[in-house]
Homo-oligomer: A and B are copies of this chain.
Amino acid sequence: MSILSERQKLILSLVVHDYIKTATPVGSKNLVEKFRLDFSPATVRNELAKLTEMNFLSQPHTSAGRIPTEKGYRLFVGVLMNTQELKEENRHMIEHQFFQTQQDQGIDGWMKLAASILASQSKAISLVSAPLPIRNSLKHVALIDLTGKQMLIVLVLTSGQMQQRFVTLTEQVSQNKLTMTANEINQRFKGMTTDQIHQEKQKSTTNNALMELVMKNVLNAMYETDAMKAGEVFTDGISNVLAEPEFAESEEARQALRIFEEQPALQSFLSKTALDQKIGGVQVLIGGEGLLTNLQNCSLVLARYGIPETLTGTVGVFGPMRMAYSRNIPTVRFIASLLSDLISESLVELQ
């Protein structure tokens, strides 16, 4: 495989650029005029022919302009594009949107917000998956007497999530008794994961009915948190992408967008795809690899966020293969870092 000349690289990246903007095959004459190149269309044609030969470009039909191939996009994203950081200005704008909503609504709220901002910035579909606690454990249990015969169980987990349960008791129990029970549970189970608690509990059976009742609820609530909240995926901007010719024209492609309204499919896809990525790095999937077959000329820009080995989620942008990588990649990276910061702050707060 021969190495590309500088001029070839230039021309290739111009083609990609132009095609991203116009979505129409780009030809030699057009290229020379638009970018004021100082060689002739014929020269450009020769180079285009070579690039086509090497499979970086393709032609929809013999007498049309060129379109980047998957391979072309890959080279563009990997080498040709100058991935600068996001402009100061844009960073501020995003931060502003993030923090003007003063209410702290917890992790869920942040994710929703991130999805909304990312969608509006990228004009594409945004995906934000809930951080999956790799090791979620019990931080604190509190028991609160409500009416004498009803109590509230409040659970704080190391991931920063909380759960509450109402439980109706068979007999009157004093707040004192509740506090003592809570203390005992905290001493014995603090810092343990769901499974560890389960095992520990097997060891010694108390005949303390209250204790049993509480622990049953605690375990249930923890299982739920583990299983459910874990993989939830927030999505935004589906309508953004409807304007793109790729989707406007093909009924099939439009149907394929259904997938973004189907939690289970999204979850399994994201969890399969991005797990081995390190925090902060951005991964670009070009040509809908592994995704739905009808979405083949689409791309996905993904990044992981959170705290390594502890609590990590995925954030990303989905759009046509000719998406604005040079804007989307830094944006995704920046939003991932914002989310990471927010999450580690919220963990520190709970320390």
Using a CB–CB cutoff of 8 Å, the interface residues on chain A facing chain B are: 103, 105, 119, 140, 142, 144, 146, 152, 154, 156, 162, 164, 166, 168, 175, 179, 224, 228, 236-239, 242-243, 248, 251, 254-255, 257-258, 260-261, 349-350
Q: B239, A261: Cβ atoms under 8 Å?
A: yes
Which residue of B103, B166, B238 contacts A238 across the interface (Cβ within 8 Å)? B238
State the CA gap A255–B123 with chains docked (Å).
13
State the CA gap A236–B262 with chains docked (Å).
10
Chain B residues with CB under 8 Å of A154's CB are 142, 144, 152, 154, 164
Shortest beta-carbon distance from A122 to chain B in Å: 14
State the CA gap A224–B103 with chains docked (Å).
7
Chain B residues with CB under 8 Å of A228's CB are 103, 105
Please list 16 pairs of residues, one from A and one from B, whose beta carbons are closer than 8 Å in the complex, sorted by A's number.
A105-B228, A140-B146, A142-B144, A144-B144, A146-B156, A154-B154, A166-B349, A168-B349, A236-B261, A238-B261, A239-B254, A239-B258, A242-B255, A243-B251, A243-B254, A248-B254
In the complex, besides A239-B260, A243-B251, A243-B255, 8 extra interface pairs with C-beta distance below 8 angstroms are: A140-B146, A146-B156, A166-B349, A237-B261, A238-B239, A238-B261, A242-B254, A243-B254
Closest B residue to A236 by beta carbon equals B261
Closest B residue to A240 by beta carbon equals B258
Q: A152, B142: Cβ atoms under 8 Å?
A: yes
Chain B residues with CB under 8 Å of A119's CB are 261
Chain B residues with CB under 8 Å of A258's CB are 239
